[in-house]
């Protein structure tokens, strides 16, 4: 039994967190562990705003920084860390204005290929965050972003790794457009994980993409309304940024454990303990294991 006296005692997985050696770093990971967190996806952090890598070598150094951070968390905090590497779509858009469209796109695709090499070697488990700008851009940039994303999806599908998507927030329409890109590129929809996803996990909203749900305040009630209509997979995330200049801009590292307990306690009012256990076993073990490697 993993529900003991109304409390989930199984694994707790945050599927999208950033850590920065100049931020709280290991201390933030320790907070997560102290709150009951056991597994995390450490997502590569782009050097916003003024440390954007301008060469593949600089990208490689930055990837190595993320891999080193993961190793330090495993060693010092003792939790399971899976690394997700990739070039951020906002970096690509910013660099169109400094490097030009052609060079920026080339660097982006080369960075994708490099991330997939780390995946193939077993040092990383997925590509991300990739996607498209979340703010309005010119029609030319938008169409280039979509073309590029389709290429990135094709590369990931060919390499056999899932991707975490950073995209705009236009609700079901965003997911529908992404599902079309998935189908065209050969990437299984479930292996395209909408990161920072709204808590609506019903199929008419997700279009069968997987959701890494942002576990803000109202996420629990929306999950309760929609989880029965999910035909894909969903997990929980904070998108903790670990940026000392923006404290409180995002959810803190203890949020996923906290909301897991809140969700379990609300579920136990409407479902039997066995059903709740089965659902949480999917959210924190079966689904993330299928995407990021077994536990």
Rounded-to-integer distance, Cα 205 and Cα 226, Å: 10
277 belongs to the binding site for Zn ion (CB under 5 A): no
CB of 18: closest distance to Zn ion in angstroms? 6
For Zn ion, the binding residues in 169-188 under the rule CB under 5 A are: none
Nearer to Zn ion, 10 or 162 (CB): 162
The CB-of-243 to Zn ion minimum distance in angstroms stands at 11
Q: In this complex, which beta carbon is closest to Zn ion, that of residue 239 or of residue 277?
A: 239
Complete DSSP assignment for 122-139: TS-SEEEEEE--SS---H
Measured from the CB atom, is 19 or 264 closer to Zn ion?
19
Binding mask 195-234 for Zn ion (x = CB under 5 A): ----------------------------------------
- Separation between Cα atoms, residue 59 and residue 47, nearest integer Å: 10
Least distance (Å) between residue 196 CB and Zn ion: 7
Residue placing its CB nearer to Zn ion in the complex, 118 or 240:
240
If DSSP codes are grouped into helix, strand and coil, which group holds residue 192? strand
Question: Would you mind telling me the total number of residues written for the chain in this entry?
Answer: 295
At 156 the three-state DSSP class reads: helix
Q: Tell me which DSSP letter residue 24 carries.
A: S
What 8-state DSSP symbol labels residue 190? G
CB of 65 to Zn ion, least distance (A): 16
Q: CB-based contacts of 199: which residues, under 8 Å, 6+ apart?
A: 213, 214, 215, 216, 218, 219, 220, 222, 223, 226
CB 45 to Zn ion: min, Å: 8
| Cβ nearer to Zn ion, comparing 237 with 277 | 237
Phi and psi angles of residue 21, each rounded to the nearest 5 degrees, phi first: -65, -20
User: Rounded to an integer, what distance in angstroms lies between the CA atom of residue 167 and that of residue 175?
Assistant: 9
Smaller CB separation from Zn ion, 166 or 284: 166
Kindly state the smallest distance separating residue 238's Cβ from Zn ion, in Å.
9
Kindly determine how many residues on this chain lie close enough to bind Zn ion according to the rule CB under 5 A: 1
For strands 126-131 and 234-237, give the pairing. unpaired
Residues 228-247 that bind Zn ion (CB under 5 A): 239
Q: Is the Cβ of residue 259 or residue 282 nearer to Zn ion in the bound state?
A: 259
Q: Which residue, 210 or 264, is less far from Zn ion as judged by CB?
A: 210
Encoded tokens for 253: 């590292």
Q: How far apart are CA 76 and CA 92, in angstroms?
A: 34
CB 204 within 8 A of CB 172: yes
Q: How far is the CB of 171 from Zn ion (least distance, A)?
A: 20
Q: Can you tell me whether residue 80 is helix, strand or coil?
A: strand
CA 162/CA 114 separation, integer angstroms: 15
Min dist CB 264 to Zn ion, Å, is 26
Closest residue by beta carbon to Zn ion: 239
Footprint on this chain of Zn ion (rule: CB under 5 A): 239
């Amino acid at each position: 039994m993993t529900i003991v006296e109304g409390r989930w005692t199984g694994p707790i997985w945050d599927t999208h967190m950033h850590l920065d050696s100049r931020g709280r770093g290991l201390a933030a990971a320790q907070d997560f562990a102290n709150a009951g967190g056991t597994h995390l996806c450490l997502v590569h952090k782009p050097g916003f705003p003024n440390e954007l890598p301008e060469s593949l070598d600089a990208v490689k150094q930055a990837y190595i920084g993320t891999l080193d951070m993961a190793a330090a968390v495993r060693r010092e905090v003792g939790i399971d860390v899976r690394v997700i590497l990739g070039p951020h779509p906002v970096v690509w858009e910013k660099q169109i204005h400094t490097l030009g469209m052609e060079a920026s796109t080339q660097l982006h695709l080369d960075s994708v290929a490099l991330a997939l090499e780390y995946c193939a070697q077993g040092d990383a488990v997925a590509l991300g965050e990739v996607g498209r700008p979340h703010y309005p851009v010119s029609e030319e940039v938008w169409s280039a972003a979509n073309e590029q994303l389709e290429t990135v999806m094709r590369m990931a599908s060919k390499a056999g790794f899932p991707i975490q998507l950073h995209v705009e927030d236009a609700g079901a329409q965003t997911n529908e457009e992404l599902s079309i890109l998935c189908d065209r590129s050969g990437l299984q929809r479930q292996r395209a994980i909408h990161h920072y996803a709204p808590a609506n996990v019903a199929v008419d909203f997700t279009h069968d993409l997987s959701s890494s749900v942002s576990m803000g305040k109202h996420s629990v009630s929306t999950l309760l309304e929609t989880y029965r209509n999910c035909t894909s997979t969903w997990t929980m995330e904070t998108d903790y940024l670990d940026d000392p200049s923006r404290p409180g801009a995002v959810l803190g590292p203890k949020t996923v454990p906290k909301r897991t307990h809140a969700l379990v306690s609300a579920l136990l009012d409407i479902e039997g303990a066995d059903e709740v256990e089965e659902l949480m076993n999917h959210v924190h073990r079966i689904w993330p294991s299928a995407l990021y490697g077994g536990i």
